[in-house]
Amino acid sequence: MEHARPDTIYAYLPWIVAAVIGGGLVLAQAGRSLYIRRLPAIDAIEEAVGRATEMGRPILFVPGLAGVDVPTFQAVAIAGRVARLAAAYRTRLLMPVSNSVIFTMAEQVLREAYASAGGSELFRPEDIRFLSEDQFAFASGVIGLMNRERIATAFFFGNFAAEALILAETGQSLGAIQIAGTPSTLQIPFFIAACDFTVIGEEYYAVTAYLTREPILVGSVWGQDLSRITLAGLIFLMSANMWWLPEWIKSFFSFW
Amino acid sequence: MWGRWGVYLLVALAITLPMVLPVRIRMVPTPPVRSFFRMVEQIPKGKALMIAADFDTGTEGENGPQVEAVLEHAMSRKIPILIMGTAIQGPELVQSYAEDLAKKYDYRYGRDFVNLGYLPGGQPVLEKLGRSIWQTKPTDYQGKPLSQLPMMRRVRTAKDIALVAEFTGAGVLPWYIQTFWAQFRVPLAQGCTGIIGPEQFPYLDSGQLSGLMTGLTGAAQYEHLIKAPKRAYRRMIPQNFAHITVIVLIVLANIRLFAERARRLRGR
Amino acid sequence: MLPAVSETTQKYLIYWLGAICTLAIYTILYRENRLYRLFEHFYIGLAVGFGLYINFKEVIYDVWWKAMMTESSGSIFAFDTPPHLPGIVLERDDKKEGKGCWKWDVGQAAEIRLREIVKEWGTPNYLKLWAKADRPVSGGRLTLIGTVAVPENGQRGTFSISFPMETDRWRLIRLELRAFDIRGSPFRPFEKIGKRNQLGEVTDLRLRANEALVQADATIFLDDLNHNIGYRWWWVFSGLFGLMFYTLFIPRLAWMSRLAMAIPLGLGSGYTFKAFVLELGPQIDASLKPLYGDIPLLRIVNNAIFLIVLLSVMTYFFFSIEHRHSAIRSPAQFGRWMLMVTFGIVFGNTVMGRFSLFISRADFLIREMQVPWDLPEWSRLLIVGHLLAAFLVLAYLSVLYERRKATVGGTEA
Amino acid sequence: MFQPVQDRWRNVFLCVVAFVAGVGALALLQSLPPAHRRRLTGIVTFVVGLYFPLEFFYPRHNFLTPWRDSVSEVLRVLAAFAFGLGAVNLFLIHGRHVARRTPNLIFSLAFFAGFFLMAGAGLMNDFAKGFLAAEPKVGQLGFWEASYRILFQGALLPLTSTVFSLLAFFIASAAYRAFRARTLEALLLMVTSFLVMLANVPYGLTVTSFLPDEGIWRWGRIENLVQWMMTQINAPAMRAILFGVWVGAVGAALRIWLSLERTFVSGP
């Protein structure tokens, strides 16, 4: 199949999903308040920052194996929220980064966050560190940093791969409070095992939307939710009625 | 700290000691491994098997024995083999396995197997490869033009490939699904590391994957199917003991937990 | 002059350097220390250096530079192998490229067929052929005739082009595809737009000499027939875009890096829609599992369980609905349990995966040890163990050193 | 207009002209107000993003189809150019350490040593094999090739695999610590991974190998049970996650395509 086949639903499905999400975006932009349930992770983030302040040791925020992609953008957005809290509590925030583009982006977002919390003088550009683009070089750099700075709280948000457990285990051995969130499904079990709080899969996007309250993100999460509900409904109805449906409907739903 | 060091030491000993001890084990193949075996068994005459070596030495411990087992199987059936990889070191590793096995099965480079080498660029490049191998990679891994390799006269596009066997420790399977499977209808079988194994089962259910070999166990099971226990089998022995160690550790930790709980209850 | 290295030396160096690197990294299991840090930085350097090198070699040079600064040629026929055709012999001395050239006695055969040519020519704009005659022949001409077939739709056609063959000096003959006389429509669909240059597969290729050459009983020398695209200067733009990434470090120009990134990001987001169909389509198709009908009971039960798990896990990820009503809460809770089961499976499998990694390291350290004597495996294990102990002592000393320094002069940044 | 050139020097001339013209155009754009530049970036993203949808969703070969390969090559070239960004950053950081002779000096020097050795040996091996190096005899390798191999196989690969293999220790201690049946969820996680671990090694299978492998009793055997969990619980759960991921991907693509991703768009 080198081109989409117009006689199956799959040629239209991405556009239906896109339209639903687009609808969410439009509604949110227009100022409609769209409901997203409060996730327990949000309280945990605040608590963890407070804990670092009590201990007088820095906070670490790892935006994952960063790439120029959406999970990383959202991680940077969360970092902005955490930085605002940290600035308010006068606690140092360290952020190792593995991508140059994200590096400059993070610098700008954090600078703004510190300024908006009235702590511009606390912002130290050298606390955002570019380590390496290579996965394990980055991981070994981060564990070095964690050990040297004896961090009290660690946030892991973004894309992670095998280095997830290396980082989380190191934090655990330092006795740090750790909160993780990742859309990389395979790493979630290790975060569950080694972190105090874990945001699972899709919740990641919802957390960002909830934290930032940005209409675009809220609308998008809401739209995605509606798309998933539609998809689940479709699967349920089709499966339940498979036995009597005429052949042409079935073939409309079959991929080949 | 001491508890942690103790665990580390136990793991190190559980793995290194069995390496120098003589032990025997028995493997039981699972259905996905059997269907992988069947896919290779069913390759028709004249069509090639493509081995996608998408792993580096990082995961060689698992993917290496898997490739070796499949290579041995394909060579015993005289199937032409095309090797390539989207990871830098993969194709060269597979080349060294293939050369070792070639003597036994009278395989000659260029006539019976060809190595295209490293193909960077991900999905778009694979799409191009499926349309035309010669245009995508006009030379083999040593820079020799394909026109000098007799096997390549018969292997030009995805149509000449009967099965893509992909070996990886990373999530690159979608690249092959979006190209070889969906666009050119070439069946896929995968040998993957233990960690990404569970993630492949939806694809197995939907038929996008026709066979799956997970981790070292999968490799050892495949070796059992082709009746040639080698490296995977040998490495399963320390694996065995390390697993038992971890299982015992978990049981101990839970006994301790319950003992503490019981003591607290009694104390109250 | 830098010396050549024998393979044995190289093997020893690879093993022992590898062993040192391996053991130095393992000291982190004790504690972060200076030895580890040294190798960590060395490693980061190596990784970046290697990435730069491989990107330069495989993409910047092989794809970009070659497209821009070479003619992007490919061989069609090399004239290097013995012909096994009447009237032709392989000449090894008077040649232009490769191992030899063909000497074709036109008197014996006025037409030759080239066997085992490269069929795929890609999108060439012109062909190049080295040729000369053994003596000047006025009015001598050669004709190149080919048969083309499109594998996708079976369309066939022929092309031919004739060119003068008069001189007795090696000449590089250019044959413009535009000038070819093409019969039929041997093109891939839609791919002839503009230049009509995407031919199908060339299945047959002949060279024919004209009357003048036959009468003169000339001998023709042929070498290396290539297809070429030509120099494509516009690739300089993609280089320019590539350089625009680096404006990231100059705040005043940094917007340009965004402009450059717009291309991969735009293409990537567009591609998502295509990938959605190709990858997720079959997944949805496979999720529509029959629950009644002519199938065994066990299948029905399994299908039902499959669907229940699928739908309840999806329910867990509904955020826009309050999880208060039990119609939502119970499936969501069940979905979360099923997620935990899945994560348990992932964890269990990973244990195997991670141990394999260490097993292969231990395999390397013990079994692949390069020593001049034949040592039994347990003594190799002892050697490695002692080496590791020595490294751990070094690590311990460095930790002590840093502690003392920290108490004297404050911590390092 | 975009016709390949057949003459080398004409090509060089055109390259220079095109480069100068491109830089000139950028200089002109530089004089635009920032809002317009941002709009320009948005327009470029949108137009470029149209390519794949138009090409793919038009159900036949169309006028965009021949450009597939060129598009993929442009993507590869851009990605390769972008790779240098990280190197520049690291050079700035470690250059500062060296210039100021901070306590980190020796580590920064190690970084530079690694970088120059590896990049140098690789490039020399590919582009200037004979430079200053003695001609190798049989059984020998030229200096550059040998040093490339020693650095690659003797340092880079072992370091990568070793850092990766630290996970064996970490996972054991994570399992030891985390797998305590404190809550129902923790219990589920623990029991399933326990079963999977048993199923993965031959000694684990012996626990239930006394049961017959047929009838109702076969479901009591660990390997069958785990296989069932893999296909009936793991597969649908993973697929549900996959649905979420892809719907999320469409949302993300939409936001980027229409330049609505604020963290990114409002950048410098």
Answer yes or no: is pLDDT of C410 > 70: no
Q: What angle do CA C269, C272, C275 make, to 5 degrees?
A: 155
Subunit contact D267:A103, Cβ cutoff 8 A: no
The secondary structure of chain A, three-state, reads CCCCCCCCHHHCHHHHHHHHHHHHHHHHHCCCCCCCCCCCHHHHHHHHHHHHHHHCCCEEEEEECCCCCHHHHHHHHHHHHHHHHHHHHCCCEEEEECCHHHHHHHHHHHHHHHHHCCCHHHCCHHHEEECCCCHHHHHHHHHHHHHHHCCCEEEEEEECCCHHHHHHHHHHHCCCEEEEEECCHHHHHHHHHHCCEEEECCHHHHHHHHHHCCHHHHHHHHHHHHHHHHHHHHHHHHHHHCCCCCHHHHHHHCCC
A100 touches chain C (CB under 8 A): yes
Query: From CA B104, how far away is CA B98, in angstroms rounded?
Result: 10
Subunit contact C29:B8, Cβ cutoff 8 A: yes
C311 close to A235: Cβ distance less than 8 angstroms: yes
Residues 19-38 of A with CB under 8 A from C: 34-37
Task: Return the SS3 of B86.
Answer: coil
Chain A residue with the nearest C-alpha to that of C272: A14
Q: Chains with ≥3 Cβ pairs under 8 A against C?
A: A, B, D
- The pLDDT of residue A130 is 85
Q: Grade residue D12 by pLDDT with cuts at 50, 70 and 90.
A: very high
Backbone angles phi, psi at A170, to 5 degrees: -60, -45
Answer yes or no: is pLDDT of D178 > 80: no
- The pLDDT of residue D266 is 58
Query: From CA A182, how far away is CA A158, in angstroms rounded?
Result: 5
- The pLDDT of residue D239 is 93
Mean pLDDT of chain B: 88
Q: Grade residue C411 by pLDDT with cuts at 50, 70 and 90.
A: very low
- The pLDDT of residue C188 is 66
Q: Report the DSSP beta bridge partners of residue C148.
A: C157, C202
Q: Report the DSSP beta bridge partners of residue C156.
A: C149
- Who wins on pLDDT, B69 or C2? B69
D79 touches chain A (CB under 8 A): no
Chain A residue with the nearest C-alpha to that of C312: A232
- The pLDDT of residue D259 is 86
Q: Grade residue B221 by pLDDT with cuts at 50, 70 and 90.
A: very high
A206 touches chain C (CB under 8 A): yes
Taking each helix axis from N to C end, the angle separating C377-409 and C7-26, rounded to the nearest 10 degrees, works out to: 50
Mean pLDDT of chain A: 87
Answer yes or no: is pLDDT of D229 > 50: yes
Subunit contact C191:D122, Cβ cutoff 8 A: no
DSSP state of B253: H
Give residue C43's identity as a one-letter amino acid code: Y
* Residue among A77, A130, A189 minimizing CB distance to D89: A130
- The pLDDT of residue C193 is 42
Subunit contact B182:A1, Cβ cutoff 8 A: yes
Rounded mean pLDDT of C383-401? 90
Query: From CA C362, how far away is CA C373, in angstroms rounded?
Result: 20
pLDDT tens digits, A165-203: 888 888 888 889 999 998 888 888 888 888 888 888 888
Q: Grade residue C119 by pLDDT with cuts at 50, 70 and 90.
A: confident
Q: Chains with ≥3 Cβ pairs under 8 A against D?
A: A, B, C
pLDDT tens digits, A132-175: 777 877 887 898 889 888 899 999 999 898 888 888 888 888 88
pLDDT tens digits, A74-121: 888 889 889 988 998 889 999 999 888 888 888 888 888 888 888 788
Q: Grade residue C192 by pLDDT with cuts at 50, 70 and 90.
A: very low
- The pLDDT of residue C195 is 46
Query: From CA A89, how far away is CA A82, in angstroms rounded?
Result: 11
Residues of D in contact with B64 (CB under 8 A): none
- The pLDDT of residue D19 is 95
Please state whether beta strands B211-214 and B188-192 pair in parallel, antiparallel, or not at all (unpaired). parallel
- The pLDDT of residue D1 is 56
Query: From CA C15, how far away is CA C363, in angstroms rounded?
Result: 12
Chain mean position to CA D170: 24
- The pLDDT of residue C13 is 92
Taking each helix axis from N to C end, the angle separating C326-367 and D157-178, rounded to the nearest 10 degrees, works out to: 130
Answer yes or no: is pLDDT of C190 > 70: no
**Minimal C-alpha gap between A165 and chain B (Å):** 12
- Who wins on pLDDT, B141 or B224? B224
Answer yes or no: is pLDDT of C198 > 70: no
- The pLDDT of residue C31 is 80
pLDDT tens digits, D16-39: 999 999 999 999 999 988 888 888
Q: C263, C305, C355, C384: which to substitute to probe chain B, counting the most B Cβ within 10 Å?
A: C355
- Name which of C123, C113, C119, C125 is nearest C76 in CA terms: C119
Mean pLDDT of chain C: 85
Length of chain B: 268
DSSP state of D133: B
Subunit contact C343:A192, Cβ cutoff 8 A: yes
Query: From CA C132, how far away is CA D197, in angstroms rounded?
Result: 73
- The pLDDT of residue A21 is 93
Residues 151-170 of D with CB under 8 A from A: 159-160, 163-164, 166-167, 170
Query: From CA C284, how far away is CA D236, in angstroms rounded?
Result: 11
Question: Could you tell me the pTM of the whole model?
Answer: 0.88
- The pLDDT of residue C137 is 86
- The pLDDT of residue C194 is 40
Chain mean position to CA D267: 24
Give percent of chain D with pLDDT exceeding 70: 96
pLDDT tens digits, B80-121: 999 999 888 888 889 988 988 998 899 999 899 999 988 887
- The pLDDT of residue D238 is 92
